[in-house]
Structure 1
Amino acid sequence: MVEKDIQIFKQAIINEVEGYEFYKMAAYSAENETSKKTFLDLANEELKHIDWLKDALKKLSTDPQDQTTLALLENPPSPDIFKWDNVRIKQASMAVSVFGIGIEMERASVKFYEDAMNNTSFETAKKLFEVLAKWEKVHLEQFSAEYDHLIQDWWSDQGFAPF
């Protein structure tokens, strides 16, 4: 694997660390224990993604035997924790902000992996970046759907309903 691809994996790990820290902060703004747990679960999912990326990087960097099988790995771990009806944040504006930032993080991740996929000549890395882009797109869709719901609630709280 070329140095450029290694740097992409390293940046991906940093991106996941940032996501982990963001969700931890969101957990401490949550209104109740269920919401707090949901955000902490999201933070822990980011930790699993970090481990997955580190493992992929190690295999791609050290053992040519793993390069073929690595492309066939299942998607990174993503448990069904997006149960947004359990998430309540103290203020509507905070909820809109948390999800708005989450959307931007996911959108940036999709672009990051799509760019990486288009800029590598290493076929195994290309396949992994494609898996990662799809993984982030799912998160983006889930966050966007919840954001749309929350923004309607926010406008209603501001006295602008019905529209």
Structure 2
Amino acid sequence: MKENIIAYMKTALNTELMGYKFYLHAAEITEDEHGKNIFKHLANDELDHIKAISSIVGSIEETGRVLTYDEALNAYNSRGQGLPIFPEENELIKKLGKNPEDLDALNIAIKSEEDAVHFYGSYLKSAGDANEKVLLTNLLEMEKGHLKLLRWEYDSIVDTGFWCDFMEWTVEGEKE
């Protein structure tokens, strides 16, 4: 069981690492300042997910305990450990191709967040430990918030030609 949790968390960590790198790249190539800010914000969220998941994997390997998201983030920050090594290849960035448009980046980001929602939702269904379920529910809700934000921005660009910047509420804590 412990091996399953670690395997899922390592898959999640790799996915979050790719998302982080993609959002930083998307912020660099997006011309609109509101769009840049959205992608930078999402990169920061993914960075927090990376930190938390890294701590969770470490805790499971060392003690067998699944930390809550907040415990994991606090543990990571108090240890001051470095970030995991980022993979050289990033499939999300490759999908952008040459001369990408803002909508290209948004479409890839939406698909990535949809995949994350599916991953965490599927994993949640098979989770046996109560702490694991709480953690996965939190991660799932955060990814749903990211997806909602990205769809909102996409609709705005398609309908009006403009980025909206940020929603009036936080996407990290929202429940659908």
**Residue of 140, 148, 151 corresponding to 1:144:** 151
Name which of 66, 70, 73 aligns with 1:73: 70
Task: Tell me, in whole angstroms, the C-alpha distance in 1 between the residues paired with 2:34 and 2:150.
Answer: 18
Count of aligned residue pairs for this structure pair? 136
Q: Give the secondary structure class of the aligned counterpart of 1:28.
A: helix
Q: Once the 2 structures are TM-superposed, how far is the Cα of residue 33 of structure 1 from its aligned partner?
A: 6.0
Of all paired residues, the percent bearing the same amino acid is: 30
Aligned residue for 1:103?
Answer: 110
Q: Which residue of 2 aligns with 1:51?
A: 51
Q: State the superposition RMSD in angstroms.
A: 2.7
**Distance (whole Å) between structure 2 residues aligned to residue 33 and residue 152 of structure 1:** 18
Aligned equivalent of 1:10: 10
Q: Distance in 2 between the 1:75 and 1:138 partners?
A: 20
Match of 1:114 in 2: 121
For 2:46 and 2:68, the matched residues in 1 are separated by 21
Contact between 1:75 and 1:135, CA under 8 Å: does it hold in 2?
no
In structure 2, which of residues 141, 147, 172 is the aligned counterpart of residue 134 of structure 1?
Answer: 141
Task: Pick the structure with greater CA Rg.
Answer: 1
TM-score, normalised to structure 2, is 0.66
Equivalent position amino acid for 1:42 in 2: L
TM-score where L is the length of structure 1:
0.71
Indicate how the Cα distance of structure 1 residues 5 and 37 shifts in structure 2: closer, same or farther if over 3 A, else same.
same
